[in-house]
Amino acid sequence: MRGRSWRKLALDAAALLSLGFILVPLVFVTWLAFFEQEIPSFPPEGYTLHWFSAILTQKAIIDGFVTSFEVGVVATLVGLALGVPAALGLVRHAAWWGGAASTLLLMPLVVPAIVLGTAIYVAQVEAEILIYGFGIETPVIGTIGGLIAAHALIVIPWVVRLVTASLSGFDRSIEEAAQNLGATPWTTLRRITLPVIRPGIVAAALFAFVISFSNLELSLFLVGAGRTTLPIAILQYLEWKIDPTIAAASVVQIAIIAAAMLITDRFVKLTQVV
Partner 1 sequence: MARLVIDRLSKRYGENSVVKDLSLDIPQGEFLVLLGPSGCGKTTTLRMVAGFIEPSAGSIALGGRDVTALPPWRRNTGLVFQSYALFPHLTVEENVAFGLEMRKMPAAEMRPRVEEALRLVRLDGFGTRLPRQLSGGQQQRVALARALAFRPDVLLLDEPLSNLDAKLRQEVRVEIRELQQKLGLTTVMVTHDQDEALSMADRLVVMAQGEVQQVGSQRDLYERPAGRFVASFVGRSNFLEGVMGEEGAFTTAGGLRIVLAGAAAGKATLALRPEAVSTGAEAAHLDNAFEAVVEYVSYLGSVLDVRVRLTPQDRIIVQIANRLGESLPMPGETLTIGWPANAGRVFPAEA
Distance CA(174)–CA(186), nearest Å, equals 14
Q: Which is nearer to partner 1, 183 or 254 (CB)?
A: 183
Q: Give yes or no for a cis peptide into 43 (omega within 30° of 0).
A: yes
CB 261 → partner 1: shortest distance, Å?
25
CB-based contacts of 93: which residues, under 8 Å, 6+ apart? none
- Our finding on whether 226 is near partner 1 (CB under 8 A) is no
Report the residue from 30, 48, 179, 236 that binds partner 1 according to the rule CB under 8 A: 179
Q: Which is nearer to partner 1, 101 or 194 (CB)?
A: 194
CB 85 → partner 1: shortest distance, Å?
20
CA 102 to chain centre: 19
Please give the radius of gyration of the chain, using alpha carbons only, rounded to the nearest integer.
23
- Our finding on whether 66 is near partner 1 (CB under 8 A) is no
- Our finding on whether 168 is near partner 1 (CB under 8 A) is no
Distance CA(116)–CA(221), nearest Å, equals 10
144 HSE (CA, 13 A, CB side): 15
Q: Give yes or no for a cis peptide into 85 (omega within 30° of 0).
A: no
Q: Which is nearer to partner 1, 16 or 174 (CB)?
A: 174
Report the residue from 26, 181, 258, 262 that binds partner 1 according to the rule CB under 8 A: 181
- Our finding on whether 10 is near partner 1 (CB under 8 A) is no
Distance CA(88)–CA(77), nearest Å, equals 17
CB 189 → partner 1: shortest distance, Å?
13
Distance CA(267)–CA(261), nearest Å, equals 10
- Our finding on whether 171 is near partner 1 (CB under 8 A) is yes
CB 92 → partner 1: shortest distance, Å?
15
Intra-chain end-to-end CA distance of the chain, in Å:
33
CB 187 → partner 1: shortest distance, Å?
7
CB 182 → partner 1: shortest distance, Å?
3
Q: Total residues at the site for partner 1 (CB under 8 A)?
A: 17
Q: Which is nearer to partner 1, 196 or 220 (CB)?
A: 196
- What DSSP state is assigned to residue 111? S
Q: Which is nearer to partner 1, 182 or 226 (CB)?
A: 182
Distance CA(52)–CA(36), nearest Å, equals 12
35 phi and psi angles, rounded to 5 deg = -65, 145
- Our finding on whether 53 is near partner 1 (CB under 8 A) is no
Question: Which parts of 184-203 interact with partner 1 (CB under 8 A)?
Answer: 184, 187, 192, 195-196, 198
Sign of the C-alpha dihedral, residues 129, 133, 134, 136?
Answer: positive
Residues that bind partner 1 (CB under 8 A): 171, 173-174, 176-184, 187, 192, 195-196, 198
